[in-house]
Structure 1
Amino acid sequence: MKKPTTDVLYQEESSYKDMLLRKTWRMRISETVLFVLGMMILAQILPTNNTTFKVLAFAIAIAVVGLSPFLYKSMLRPMYKLTKTHLIISMSGKETSYPLSEVEQVIEGRHFYRLSGKKESLMVSRQFLSHLNERLFYYKKGNKRR
């Protein structure tokens, strides 16, 4: 369900920092698996007590954690839009709209939200999260008066 761009109150594309700090569990697990595979390959090539092994292990860790947000950003192209009634998330060109009635914060002050019953991590800035929390407050307050 697409909303007209005139309804968009706030829009944000995920930055490198947001993708580095607020990854989904799936992304974190894939990074861990990639690191373990790199370490297993490295352990087959070099002896583990070698200084070169230790330096390359550190380089693999930096590469996996530091470069993965660039890969995620280029592949997923995450875009978040907030309207008066919906949170719209675009990932890999696929746009999903969540009514604010189905959005609730799971942990206060964090980036985890329950979207249509599923716990999700929003890879957005604190500024976007504050706009979302404010919009949720007004939305729920307006529904209580009715």
Structure 2
Amino acid sequence: MKKPSTDVLYQEESTYVDMLLRKSWSMRIAETVAFVLGMMILAQFFPSNDTTFKVLAFAIAIAVVGLAPFLYKATMRPVYKLTKTHLIVSISGKETSYPLSEVEQVYEGRHFYRLGGKKESLMVSRQFLSHLNERLFYYHKGNKRR
């Protein structure tokens, strides 16, 4: 197997907005579980028809959705690198390299890609996605772009 090229064309750390808008499935599930647990705890202290319950339920929803990207970024530290031949994804210090031959866009214009046969959500900016799509285009066409 070919060794990945060390010439990084583009590198990006996930920002709060990218993580808020382009969440992975695991992040969505964790948010849902946290919200349900918060609601179960809240239901123990207030009746469901009480105004305080409704306000606190709304506050829990905002807190879970708003704080999840901060927590994920602090713990996982996702970094994406694009080289001429590979997409390198680093999460929690664990770096995984995908040859561009194993990377394909699942939905046109979206952040879902098939990486090594598995559907993944890339939590990166549109600029990074456009660089990746351009690189995939040239890679699959066999053109050399410098």
TM-score, normalized by the shorter chain, greater than 0.5: yes
What is the CA distance between 1:2 and its match in structure 2?
6.7
Greater than 4 Å deviation, 4+ residue runs: none
- Percent identical pairs in the alignment equals 83
**Matching residue of 1:65:** 65
What is the CA distance between 1:3 and its match in structure 2?
5.1
Return the alpha-carbon distance in structure 2 between the equivalents of residues 48 and 142 of structure 1.
61
**Matching residue of 1:127:** 127
What is the CA distance between 1:15 and its match in structure 2?
0.2
Matched position secondary structure for 2:69: helix
Report the residue type matching 1:79 in the other structure: V
5+ residue gaps in structure 1?
none
What is the CA distance between 1:130 and its match in structure 2?
0.2
Please state if 1:74 is matched with 2:83. Answer: no
1:1-146 matches, within 5 Å, as 4=6, 7-142=7-142
| Cα separation, partners in 2 of 1:142 and 1:3, compared to 1, 3 Å | closer
Return the alpha-carbon distance in structure 2 between the equivalents of residues 97 and 3 of structure 1.
10
Report the residue type matching 1:127 in the other structure: Q
Return the alpha-carbon distance in structure 1 between the equivalents of residues 57 and 104 of structure 2.
40
Give the alignment's Cα RMSD to 1 decimal.
Answer: 1.2
Return the alpha-carbon distance in structure 1 between the equivalents of residues 54 and 5 of structure 2.
52
Return the alpha-carbon distance in structure 2 between the equivalents of residues 46 and 122 of structure 1.
40
